[in-house]
Amino acid sequence: MKTYLVGCGKQANIILQDPEQSISRLHLEITEDRDGKYYLTDCNSTNGTYRQRQGQWSRFQQDYVTLEEPLLLGRYQTTLRQLLAQRFDSLVKMRLPMTTPKKDRRASFLGLVERNPETGEIIPRRL
């Protein structure tokens, strides 16, 4: 299982820029279970975590979510896929100098992704 912390603080694995200051330092925990499903837990955030289902936003404390399900962290709207992509982007920036030509960077970070054997989806490699 992998776990990521999401928030605007330095302790988070996925750091979100939040000019409206509606995201807590440690807002949300994402856990990927052994089946490749994602379980989200609100870390007692000040402004809450919400999901959109059938056009309605509802606050939740913990539950499984899909990659494309709309989420609100405070007033910050995103999806799980976008959050995980930010984690992936930050890993790429840490490992590859930006002076590397874009074509070569793309080829270089292929080692940082893997394919989900059940869905065929390309996801960040477990580090």
Assign residue 72 the CATH number of its domain: 2.60.200.20
Query: CA-to-CA distance for 74 and 92, rounded, in angstroms?
Result: 27
Query: CA-to-CA distance for 83 and 89, rounded, in angstroms?
Result: 10
- Domain of residue 12 covers 2-124
pLDDT score, position 110: 45
pLDDT one digit per residue (tens) for the chain, 127 residues? 889 999 999 999 999 988 889 999 999 999 999 999 999 999 999 999 999 999 999 999 999 999 999 999 999 999 999 999 887 655 545 554 555 455 444 434 445 566 667 776 666 665 4
pLDDT score, position 43: 96
Query: CA-to-CA distance for 37 and 123, rounded, in angstroms?
Result: 12
Total count of domains within the chain: 1
Residue whose C-alpha is closest to residue 2's, from 107, 120, 108, 114: 114
Query: CA-to-CA distance for 60 and 72, rounded, in angstroms?
Result: 10
